[in-house]
Structure 1
Amino acid sequence: MKYLASHATLLDGGVRKDLVMRRETDAIDGPAVGAGHEISPAKSYLVVALCWFAIFAEGYDIGVLGAILPALSTDPDWNLTPLQLGAIGSYTVVGMLIGGIVIGTLSEIYGRKPLFLFCLTLFAACMLPSAFAPTPFWFGVSRFIAGLGLGGIIPIAAAMTIEYSPKARKSFNYGLMYSGYSVGILVAALCGRAFLADYGWRVIVLIGAAPLITVPLLWKLLPESVESLVSRGKQQQAREVAARMGVPMPVQQVTSKGKAGWKQVLAEIFSLHRAFETICFWVALFMGLLLVYGLAQWLPQIMRKNGYALGDSLMFLAVFSFSSAIGGIVLGSWADRFNVKTTVVLSYLMGGVGIAALAIKAPLLVNYLFVAIAGFGTISASLILTGFLAQRLDASVRSAGTGWALSFSRIGALSGPLLGGYIASLNIEPAWNFYVFAGVALLAALAVQLIPARPE
């Protein structure tokens, strides 16, 4: 008690310094909730399932542009060039870049749950004006606004999934949760194949607004983050949620005002002792998202230039997405069992081989296999890497730190569609698309390999 009192009364010119919440406070508030125990599988999977659904909706939103791109490229009313098509995809990514930084940080200050649901509502609602956009300009505006929500929801989902997962299953649960992203892209591709020719691209976009009806249910079922409540000084609410979910109370900092502020959050994210680690993570994620967004948008169009029919070209995107959905779960399991860094490095290398192999004019089924390897090794590696980053961050900035890293990587995502559009505008052999993207995969693998080891 004397130890606590001495720390609680430190003054600096009349301003109370930040306090460190320690387990010694249990002498006052009672035993730590859930101490020595981990969350039950059922409650863990509830959080994973709810985050999965939101990421699924995001995956559909992202994948829909690749699915409708062949129709947009031949729309007589808009008459878009390859570079304009690439720019349309980039509007979303610019919004995601801003959303990851702003919303990721706001979620640490005002709560992860409300910002999570705000993001889902925002990007799903924006599918309505996108579907009815009269001109490319208004389509781009709606995609930019949607991007704010799309960029904000991923770091929050990452933080929630890592927080509410048992230690031995964090990578697996993260891979399972993020498989929703690939399934969403897959569903977008299947909807494009089923409805695009008969109903046009606007119907495919309109389907993406359906998650709006689920927001009230998610508000009821999704718990607030205990980490977030503690960092904002809401100890009683944190204990109630921790008791309900069966998780221990975290040990982390709060300010004298009872909640984290911008300065505290940013100071932890950009601490000098983690500078090199941060650079490695950011570069790897930059390269990874360049691959994901570049291939997701341009793969059907590239395969059409290779001589495949529209339906077969869209199936390449479906196979790419489906294999990555499986890959995220498989790689997550391997990462928990073996070593996360090694798993991600080998995955990027394998993805690069699959991408380069697509330059070979092989039979259709063989190219489907190469696409599956590319999807398994690129999207899957990037999502496991994001989960690895979230695990390495302090609990008080898990969402914000992931948001900042992903926002930087959005520059890579922004570059992917533009790079694909630039290569398409050169009228060179389609094989060069695959050589360039395979080289990007190699750079991603190198950056991950350079991430310094940290004692467990």
Structure 2
Amino acid sequence: MKSPEASATAKQQSTVRWVVAIAAIALIFDGYDLVVYGTIVSTLLGDPTQLGEIGPATAGMLGSWALFGVMVGALVTGAVGDYLGRRKIMITGIVWFSIGMGLTSLANSVMVFGTLRFATGLGVGALVATAGAVVAEFAPKGKRNYYNAVVYSGVPVGGVLASLLAIVLMDHVGWRGLFLIGATPLLFLLPMALSKLPESPEWLMARGRTEEALHASIRTGIPISAPAPAQGAHVLAPIPADTKIGFLALASRKYALPTLLLGLMSFAGLLLTYGLNTWLPQIMSQFGYGKSYSLSFLLVLNAGAVFGGLIASVGADRIGAKRVVSTTFFLAAVAMLMLTLQLPFTILLALVAVAGVGTIGTQVLIYGFVSNYYNSSARGAGVAWCAGFGRLGGIFGPLIGGLLMAAGVENEIAFYVFSAVAIVGALVTACVPLRNSETNTPTRSAAQVEIAK
């Protein structure tokens, strides 16, 4: 017969698998949304019958509108997410994003397309801002960076998916069909989330909903971080009612400086992520590579981020995310500088993969870093702040690329600019104060509490 502890562990493992799977699939479609626009930019630039006459600057602006929506969605989520709960925000984000992608496939003008890209970004922002908080509160200690990397690697996986589908399906379904694929989470991911995504016991505890937290912990097997109950106690001690929650907590003396620095890290990471994903095919085509080769660079960029990010996350759990993020930022700078050299094609592909680790992969690690830096009362707002403020960098990435292309500067200049941003990201990361994000209080499952009664 299984002991209560063993039963709780089995429940926890099952719960964590479902939570990680749902969050990862949601972010796969975030990555799909990010990269699918980059795969159709050339089509929109070259065919005015699609949405109208579009130049490089307008194309960059359209890419940035989606990111502006993500920023607004993330910040709004940060304002309400720590009050409404992780489950409600995730489900709302899935529905909103899917409907937005479906409607975008029907756009018939630049104005409508840009408006729908902004609206879709609101749902994406909710998902990105909440996923890290969800994983941090369900994943076991010692593996939180790894599970965060698994979930946020969904972004580059989505990029790989978008690149592959563009190569295979573009001539058959066109750009509208590619966007319609982005609406499919409504058919399979939403039912999965409704049935398998629980509310976080730790979040319930942070809101003072003690009995609900206890029942949720028993049902899911997820431990609750709380002081050990006194002899004969039947409930867990809730967090004090006057604890600052959400953005108020971020403005406290404890978190103000780290929040600023973490936001700047995310700004740099997302500027590089969105800038390269939007303009890498176009830059490489101007180096003389055809459309298929250019899309291959995009594929390798995101594939490198997936595998490199997962490997780097193991190191982050062992030696700390701060050291690893600084290193990967620096590697990105070196790789992008070397991309300006006349090197063999295979070496260029390897450098693009390293750049993927140091840009998209680094942003994956940043989300894990941020998620584990804050306690539950500030975690949702902290991740939302970094996702939202960071999206300013995401907005500037496509704009900078578009302005450089429109100005007719040499192709190398774009890589020089992105390398400089990576160096700044490494320096900012080095300045983040070290902090033990793990509480010193024991972690007790509801089953253990029942034994203690």
TM-score, normalised relative to structure 1: 0.88
Which residue number corresponds to residue 117 of structure 1? 91
Query: 2:245·2:377 contact (CA, 8 Å) conserved in 1?
Result: no
Which residue number corresponds to residue 28 of structure 1? none
Query: 1:351·1:378 contact (CA, 8 Å) conserved in 2?
Result: yes
Q: 1:96-107 counterparts in 2 under 5 A? A: 96-107=70-81
Q: Distance in 2 between matches of 1:39 and 1:216?
A: 21
Which residue number corresponds to residue 21 of structure 2? 49
| Residue 400 (str. 1) matches residue 369 (str. 2) | no
| 1:50-99: CA deviation from partner (whole Å, max 9, x where unpaired) | 11111111111111101111111112222201000000011111111111
Query: 1:226·1:250 contact (CA, 8 Å) conserved in 2?
Result: no
Which residue number corresponds to residue 185 of structure 2? 211
Which residue number corresponds to residue 238 of structure 1? 213
| 1:76 counterpart letter in structure 2 | P
Q: Distance in 2 between matches of 1:122 and 1:300?
A: 29
| Residue 253 (str. 1) matches residue 239 (str. 2) | yes
| 1:363-385: CA deviation from partner (whole Å, max 9, x where unpaired) | 22221111001001111111111
Moved more, 190-199 or 347-356: 190-199
Which residue number corresponds to residue 15 of structure 1? none
Query: 2:97·2:122 contact (CA, 8 Å) conserved in 1?
Result: yes
**Deviation of the 1:361 alpha carbon:** 2.5
**Deviation of the 1:227 alpha carbon:** 2.3
Aligned residues: 419
| 1:87-120: CA deviation from partner (whole Å, max 9, x where unpaired) | 0011111111111111233221112101111111
Which residue number corresponds to residue 446 of structure 2? none
What RMSD over aligned residues (CA atoms) do the two structures have, in Å?
Answer: 2.0
| 1:108-145: CA deviation from partner (whole Å, max 9, x where unpaired) | 11121011111111111111121110101101111111
| Residue 435 (str. 1) matches residue 416 (str. 2) | yes
Which residue number corresponds to residue 328 of structure 1? 309
Which residue number corresponds to residue 204 of structure 2? 229
| 1:341 counterpart letter in structure 2 | K
**Deviation of the 1:236 alpha carbon:** 2.2
**Deviation of the 1:39 alpha carbon:** 7.4
SS in 1 for 2:183: helix
Q: 1:2-41 counterparts in 2 under 5 A? A: 40-41=12-13
| Residue 347 (str. 1) matches residue 323 (str. 2) | no
SS in 2 for 1:428: coil
Which residue number corresponds to residue 295 of structure 1? 276
Query: 1:86·1:417 contact (CA, 8 Å) conserved in 2?
Result: yes
Correspondence for 1:129 among 99, 103, 108: 103
**Deviation of the 1:197 alpha carbon:** 3.0
Which residue number corresponds to residue 152 of structure 2? 178
Q: Distance in 2 between matches of 1:132 and 1:342?
A: 45
Q: Distance in 2 between matches of 1:370 and 1:264?
A: 43
Q: Distance in 1 between matches of 2:96 and 2:283?
A: 32
| Residue 199 (str. 1) matches residue 160 (str. 2) | no
Correspondence for 1:167 among 119, 138, 141: 141
| 1:200 counterpart letter in structure 2 | G
**Deviation of the 1:218 alpha carbon:** 1.5
SS in 1 for 2:341: coil
Which residue number corresponds to residue 66 of structure 1? 38
| Residue 158 (str. 1) matches residue 158 (str. 2) | no
Query: 2:82·2:245 contact (CA, 8 Å) conserved in 1?
Result: no
SS in 2 for 1:48: helix
Query: 2:262·2:429 contact (CA, 8 Å) conserved in 1?
Result: yes
| 1:92 counterpart letter in structure 2 | A
**Deviation of the 1:338 alpha carbon:** 1.7
TM-score, normalised relative to structure 2: 0.88
Correspondence for 1:451 among 432, 437, 446: 432
**Deviation of the 1:407 alpha carbon:** 0.9
Q: Distance in 2 between matches of 1:170 and 1:373?
A: 24
Correspondence for 2:346 among 357, 365, 370: 365
**Deviation of the 1:295 alpha carbon:** 0.5
Query: 1:127·1:206 contact (CA, 8 Å) conserved in 2?
Result: yes
**Deviation of the 1:235 alpha carbon:** 2.2
Q: Distance in 2 between matches of 1:131 and 1:93?
A: 18
Correspondence for 1:411 among 379, 392, 395: 392
Moved more, 436-445 or 102-111: 102-111
Query: 2:263·2:385 contact (CA, 8 Å) conserved in 1?
Result: no
Query: 1:100·1:152 contact (CA, 8 Å) conserved in 2?
Result: yes
Give percent identity, aligned residues only. 33
Q: Distance in 2 between matches of 1:370 and 1:432?
A: 17
Q: Is there any run of 5+ residues in structure 2 with no aligned partner, and where?
A: 227-237, 439-453
**Deviation of the 1:254 alpha carbon:** 5.5
Q: Distance in 2 between matches of 1:317 and 1:254?
A: 49
Query: 1:65·1:89 contact (CA, 8 Å) conserved in 2?
Result: yes
Correspondence for 1:319 among 300, 319, 322: 300
Q: Distance in 1 between matches of 2:386 and 2:173?
A: 39
**Deviation of the 1:195 alpha carbon:** 1.6
Q: Is there any run of 5+ residues in structure 1 with no aligned partner, and where?
A: 1-32
Q: Distance in 2 between matches of 1:57 and 1:139?
A: 18
| 1:407 counterpart letter in structure 2 | G
**Deviation of the 1:38 alpha carbon:** 10
Q: 1:260-279 counterparts in 2 under 5 A? A: 264-279=245-260
**Deviation of the 1:228 alpha carbon:** 2.2
Moved more, 200-209 or 79-88: 200-209
SS in 2 for 1:382: helix
SS in 1 for 2:48: coil
Q: Distance in 2 between matches of 1:420 and 1:435?
A: 12
| 1:133 counterpart letter in structure 2 | A
Q: Distance in 1 between matches of 2:385 and 2:35?
A: 23
Query: 2:249·2:255 contact (CA, 8 Å) conserved in 1?
Result: no
Query: 1:129·1:139 contact (CA, 8 Å) conserved in 2?
Result: no
Query: 2:246·2:379 contact (CA, 8 Å) conserved in 1?
Result: no
Which residue number corresponds to residue 8 of structure 1? none
**Deviation of the 1:152 alpha carbon:** 1.2
